[in-house]
Amino acid sequence: SEIETIQDLIDDIEISYYKTNEGNHRENFEKTLQKINENEKYKELKTADIDLFVAIMRGPSISFAHIGVPNVLLFYNSHNSLQHKKLVEESSSSDQLFSTVVEGKIHPQNYFYISTPNVSKVFSNDRIQKLLSSRTVNQTVIHIQKVLESMSEETSYGGIICQVDHEDEIAESEENESKKTGSVESIENLITHEKNTQNTLSSSFLTSGISEIKKIFSPPHFKQDDKNISAPKIRHQEQETSTLNMILVTTGKALVITFLAIFRIIKFTALFIYKILSTTFLFITKPTKRTEVKEKWNSYVNHKKNYFKTMTFFHKILLFLVLILTGIFIGSIAYMKTQAKQEKERQNYTAQIQEIIDKQIEAESSIIYKDEKKAFDLLKEAEAIINNLPIKDKDQEQKKEELTADLDVIFRKLRKVEVVKGNVFVTLPDARIDKLEIIDETLVAFTKDIQTLYKINLGTKQIDEQIYSETMDLMQSTVPKENDKILFLDDNNAVIEYDKKTTSITTKDIIYPKDNPEISNIFIYNQKLYSIDKSSSQIYKHNETQTGYDKGTLWLKQNVDLSNAVDLAIDSSLYILKLNGELLKFSSGTQDEFSIKMIDPKMEEPTQMWTYSDVDEIFILEPKQKRIVIIDKGGTLIKQYTSLDWQNPTNMSVDIDNKKLYVIDSGKVYRIDL
């Protein structure tokens, strides 16, 4: 089989190389590959879909060849950041199995990386670069291994990261090489060249092989060491000492004179400023002496003018030069302080970028190990740092956008957002219709502004209209588990019933325990009607009667602020949704410990909630951010739905049996498969 042939190939390369003792290790390697090329047994591998990498290393020196296109990279430092260069771009078109040999040396601060193409599907080259920039080689390898172990078992992965730890390894290797050749001296830190294996071992090597030198990789910071050798200059010791002493003395005198002149200029400037300030102070605070002050100032200025006129031309030039030097001196101090400040800002900026990358990598690791809360906290910390990054030029602006985009990719995993396509189930005749309710196979749409029920058949999408009394302003709705009726809450706190069997719409009797209630919503459970009174922050429980519902009793047993409650739902426990995004849970009239976890961004002004006793999820509609949030009964996020087509989703209805979710937005009903 092909796998057995590849294994035989590897074994033959290893055995043949160690049996070949002629020449140096590079020549032995080339001869070994030439033998493999001439072996008819391996000809079939030329057309096989395989990626194979074979190499020898002696200290920092490496020689390698390949079949196919394995991922071979050199990571090197350039301008204080890690860069990478791909060493194998495409598969060779030669008839030879191994058509090229690449030779080079690895610098101590660089990394030589090889992996199978499957690894690149999980870890991009840029991601490997980030890992090596922020971690040690061992930490990087452990991280990659843990991630790959969590992937599909049907796919195999393989890779190697090489790094030369010490400069002495390079020195030792070069010394050994010089002993063999006798003529090799200072060469590049990384010499790279490609040799045609076929030509190397044929008679045409001298004529055609040399032209292949330096075809592969040469990162810009790898340069040949130049030896600056100049002819010796012979001087007498005494003459050199005398000249040096004269230069030192002259320089010292010049420095003393310059600093004395600068000191005098500074002193003169300070006295001049003091004179101006004191004169101005007297001129403002003592009006009676203004004339005297003015005369003294004019006298002082005239004196200085006359003094300057009497100066010789040489002294004027000297004064001018001193002023220039003083300006240069002060400017140099300001420049150095500015440079120091800018350097500190650059260091802080670099440290911030690195901290963001570290938190991002750690967050990805936390997601792999199912610690989503830690990942979320790390991403929030990274987001705060990004928001405070300076934007002084286009590069910094671009870097901030790049980091934000990288962060958003991980955030989307944690937010569990699914963007659904605009699947319009049906378009209603009026865009003002903003409420939905489902009963059996019928979807009922309504609004308080139009006295018509729009009944949509879920199978045929046929819309039937039913007009009701103009005195009824339907606001909210609820359907019992029996699916035999719909109860509507009227704008005047009345309860209106739609009977599924007779399709009649009638007003039912109901009395509330307190006068002038502000009922925000109702919910029917076990033939009991529950209502929220925002004005008294109370839940009322009503029993059904022949004509409607009784006066009801106070269900809450403790004081809870329900002034901004918008909806309620019951599944044996009672849930109350508040306008600030808070979700409260109660059992037997007493509040339980409950909180929503890991929802980002935070909910703002949700308007509707639904669940039931045989349902594991809680559905929450938030029109402001155009999304539907689904959590479990423990408050943990399951999923978020949104759509680019939604403008203002106002209501939803859940068909849990058929796993459908219906959303109404500006008269259009959208259907989502759960």
- pLDDT tens column, 17-55: 888 766 678 888 888 888 888 888 888 887 888 888 999
**Coil/strand/helix, residue 527:** coil
Residue 264 resides in a domain: no
The answer to whether residue 289 sits within a structural domain is: no
Q: Considering the domain boundaries, does residue 130 fall inside one?
A: yes
* Domain's final residue, options 212, 245, 275: 212
Which distant-in-sequence residues (6+ apart) come within 8 Å of 425 by Cβ? 461, 662, 669, 670, 671
Residue 241 is predicted with a pLDDT of 56
**Would you say residue 331 lies in a domain?**
no
pLDDT for 576 equals 97
Give residue-wise pLDDT tens across range 125-170.
888 988 888 888 888 888 888 888 877 667 788 899 988 775 544 4
Q: Confirm whether 394 is domain-assigned.
A: no
Instruction: Among 212, 229, 244, give the residue marking a domain's end.
Output: 212
**Which positions ≥6 away from 383 have C-beta within 8 Å?**
407
Phi, psi of 97 (to 5 degrees): -65, -50
Domain-located, residue 379: no
Q: How far is CA 417 from CA 127, 408, 414, in A?
A: 24, 11, 8
Structurally, the chain folds into a number of domains equal to 2
Q: Which residues contact 18 (CB under 8 A, 6 or more apart)?
A: none
Residue 352 lies in a domain: no
Q: Which residues of the chain have pLDDT under 50?
A: 168-175, 177-238
Q: Domain range spanning residue 154?
A: 2-212
CATH of the domain at 124: 3.60.40
Residue 152, pLDDT score: 66
Which of 149, 177, 212 is the C-terminal boundary of a domain? 212
Is this model's pTM higher than 0.85 or not? no
Instruction: Report the phi/psi class of residue 114: left, alpha or beta, with left for phi > 0 and alpha for psi in -120 to 50.
Output: beta
Question: In angstroms, rounded to a whole number, what is the distance separating the alpha carbons of residues 571 and 610?
Answer: 10
Q: Does residue 35 lie in a domain region? A: yes
Count of beta carbons in the 10 Å neighbourhood of residue 30: 21
Q: Minimal CA–CA distance to 488: which of 450, 457, 523?
A: 523
**Interior CA angle at 608 toward 605 and 611, to 5°?**
135
Q: What is the side-by-side strand order in the sheet with 505-508?
A: 474-478, 485-490, 495-499, 505-508
CATH number, domain of 434, equals 2.120.10.30
Q: What is the DSSP string of 302-366?
A: HHHHHHHHHS-HHHHHHHHHHHHHHHHHHHHHHHHHHHHHHHHHHHHHHHHHHHHHHHHHHHHHH
Output the pLDDT for position 197.
Answer: 41
